[in-house]
Amino acid sequence: MDGFALKDGMKHAILIPAFALMAACATTPVYGPAKSASSEGYLSQQIEQGRHRVSYTDRDPVRARNLALLRAAEITLTEGKDWFEITNESVDSEGGGRSGGPSISVGGSAGSGGYSGVGVGIGIGFPLGSGSSGTTTQTLEIVTGAGAKPDKPEAYDARSVDINLRASAS
């Protein structure tokens, strides 16, 4: 008799949470450029010298905003500038809907030979990942600048943004 053998029920109790954790981890995209206009990641376009449009698409609206700010900081620093100011911004959400929560279902059937049945089920869903099946695109139009940052709430120090939001990119 092996002292370390697990009963089948215990194996399932360990494996199910492990698979759920792996699925949740697999749903978090890696920070980087979008493969297409509708996929997750960033897109950026220079409008004119020192003016850019930056967008980030993600399933989590907060992450989409943070990573759009991070991309704006990267562009600013690449230009050798110190700060950026958001001159216009928009948010576009697609899909979504409910993802998890209690639900009640009632079903019925009729078979041959006069047999019939009715069933009632109560269930609960567990959203994995960001909790939304849709995506959010955060778009920022920015102007970059050098020297002292303007004293406006729309102006950001690029180095501080890069340092503070880089961790949310992983």
Q: Is the pTM of this model over 0.75?
A: no
**126: in domain:** no
Whether 4 maps to a domain, the answer reads: no
The structure tokens listed for 77 are 């620093």
Span 150-164, mean pLDDT? 97
The values of phi and psi at residue 47, to 5°, are: -90, -45
Summarised one tens digit per residue, pLDDT across range 122-154 is 555 554 554 446 999 999 999 999 999 999 999
Question: pLDDT (tens digit, 9 = 90+) per residue, 55-65?
Answer: 999 999 999 99
Q: Is residue 166 part of a domain?
A: yes
In a domain, 144, yes or no: yes
* Structural domain contains residue 151: yes
Residues of the domain holding 79: 41-96+131-170
Residue 102 counted as domain residue = no
What is the rounded distance in angstroms from the CA atom of residue 37 to the CA atom of residue 18? 34
Instruction: Look at the chain and report how many structural domains it folds into.
Output: 1
